[in-house]
């Protein structure tokens, strides 16, 4: 399934950054997106609340996910994608990048 990119960008708030780590909180309204990006660092995501997302890769592949508050996951550096809040309510997660 192919999907076009969203045009409304979610709010990213850097909460902490030093030479080892960057912590960013992402706040999305329904249908808001991170915009397409590449992860330069290994990272963890910790959902603040439950929600649904679609992750869209450059080739248009869409992977849907159900996020659960407090259930973190990790990914390696190098991933290129866009994340869209496909749920009916606001979504927030904290991203922790390991430099």
18/61 Cα distance (integer angstroms): 34
The pTM (predicted TM-score) of the whole model is 0.90
pLDDT grade for 1, boundaries at 50, 70 and 90: very low
Report pLDDT digits (tens) over 38-73: 999 999 999 999 999 999 999 999 999 999 999 999
Specify the pLDDT at position 67: 98
Domains of the chain by residue range: 11-98
Paired tokens of 26: 């992402």
Task: Write the CA distances from 44 to 67, 70, 72, 95, integer angstroms.
Answer: 13, 12, 7, 6
| Mean pLDDT value of segment 72-83 | 97
* CATH architecture for segment(s) 11-98: Sandwich (2.60)
Selection from 51, 49, 48, 45 nearest residue 79 by Cα: 45
Percent of the chain beyond pLDDT 70? Answer: 93
Percent of the chain beyond pLDDT 90? Answer: 92
């Amino acid at each position: 399934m192919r999907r076009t990119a969203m045009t409304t960008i979610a709010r990213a708030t850097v909460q902490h950054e030093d030479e080892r780590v960057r912590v960013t909180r992402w706040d999305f309204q329904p249908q808001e997106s991170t915009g397409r990006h590449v992860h330069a660092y290994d990272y963890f995501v910790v959902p603040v609340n439950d929600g649904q997302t679609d992750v869209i890769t450059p080739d248009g592949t869409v992977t849907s996910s159900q996020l659960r508050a407090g259930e973190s996951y990790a990914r390696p550096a190098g991933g290129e994608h866009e994340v869209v809040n496909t749920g009916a309510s606001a979504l927030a997660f904290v991203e922790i990048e390991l430099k």
